[in-house]
Amino acid sequence: MSKGADIYGWTYVSGWAAALESEMLPASFFEQMLDMAEVGDVFYSLTDTPVRDEFGEVEDMLQADARVRGFYDGVLERMRASSPSPQVIDMLRVQREIRSFKNFVKRRIMGLEVPPVASRYGDGVWELLWEGAPTEVPPYFQPVVGKARQALASQPERPEVLDAAFDGACLRALCDAAWLTGSSFIVEYYRRYDTAKGVELLWRARAMGLGEEVERLLVEGRQDHALFAALEQSEQERWPSAIASAMPGLDIGRVAAAEGLGRVQSFTRAGEEWLMAFARDARFVPFGPERVFGCAVGLMAEAGNLVLAVAGRANGIAPDVLRLRLRTCYV
């Protein structure tokens, strides 16, 4: 992807991204929101956020997911329309679409009702994709379908195998999609995402004793072949040193100090912070796809935190529980 191909277009949308970044909510805002004594106080604190006009009364907080995500989806859509290369914003859509497809397949297999899912590829597209019918979805979805079907056919009684096949193939699909953007920064972001999420999934599988087949599916196709081969062949106690070498800058000390599944949770948080630290480097790029992508990553994290804090407090969930699930902020 060449910036020179549309220098004026990238300059315009990058300036917009910089303006959006200046208004992003810091971690301290969400901490204060969770510490507020009354739900009404949380409602009034929304006047200091970009979604202030989405909430007219306290009861609206119960629909925070639809209201907040609808607002941020609109922002991303306008950024996409203004970008010389829409694929930059589409990468974040791909992540959500793959999760949506996985949820559809699991509910279908379990015989549960599958609610209608809106998709830019058309109504009923997940059903068509799973059945092997022609669709408009990108080609990188096909390996995901193949791996999931293979796992389901070989071990239908083990849902954890289907999960592993899906998750491993989805990570690879994201990396394949990143290459299509032509941006080395976006490619590197998803290579790091593949590593962080892959280690999290593998560690969870090992800690829960899910077996060699699950681990094999999670290791297959990872970008850092050497790291995952080392993890697969060694005991968990040796993993922190291998991870520290492969993920420089990660707070491995915090991970090593934890025990049991707590170590997995600690790594998940450290991995998220490590990945966001890389995304923040986009702010040092004056204009171009990197600046726009980094801003979009930050907006998605902010949307997730607003949904968590607003809906969580409205539903009476303890602040300490919500605090553990806050995502790392971009600013």
Confidence check: pLDDT of 124 > 90: no
Predicted confidence band of residue 212 (pLDDT cuts 50, 70, 90):
very high
Q: What is the mean pLDDT of residues 294-316?
A: 96
**Nearest C-alpha neighbor of 243 from the set 269, 271, 222:** 271
Q: What average pLDDT does range 168-189 have in this prediction?
A: 92
CA distance 52 to 13: 24
Whether the full predicted model's pTM is greater than 0.75, yes or no, is: yes
| pLDDT bucket at 5, cuts 50 / 70 / 90 | low
Tokens 């096909």 identify what position? 142
Predicted local distance difference test score (pLDDT) of residue 251 = 93
**In the predicted structure, residue 135 carries a pLDDT above the cut 60:** yes
pLDDT for position 196: 97
Number of alpha carbons in the 13 Å side-chain half-sphere of residue 178? 22
Q: Is 120 helix (H, G, I), strand (E, B) or coil?
A: coil
Question: Looking up tokens 């979604």, which residue turns up?
Answer: 51
Residue 221 has pLDDT above 80, yes or no: yes
Stretch 99-123: mean pLDDT: 83
Alpha-carbon distance of 289 to 292, in angstroms, equals 5
Dihedral sign of CA atoms 169, 118, 131, 110 in order? positive
**Exposure of 137 in the CB half-sphere (CA atoms within 13 A):** 26
* pLDDT at 69 > cutoff 60: yes
pLDDT tier for residue 230 given thresholds of 50, 70 and 90 = very high
As a whole number, mean pLDDT of residues 72-81 equals 94
Average pLDDT, stretch 205-224?
92
pLDDT at 3 over 60: no
Q: Give the residue extent of every domain in the chain.
A: 23-88+159-323
Least confident of 126-140, 274-288, 293-307: 126-140
Q: What is the pLDDT of residue 259?
A: 83
Q: Model confidence at 217, in pLDDT bands (50, 70, 90)?
A: very high
User: Average pLDDT, stretch 222-232?
Assistant: 95
How many percent of the chain have pLDDT more than 70? 98
Residue type, 52: R
pLDDT at 97 over 90: no
- pLDDT category at 159 given cuts 50, 70, 90 is confident
The length of the chain is 331
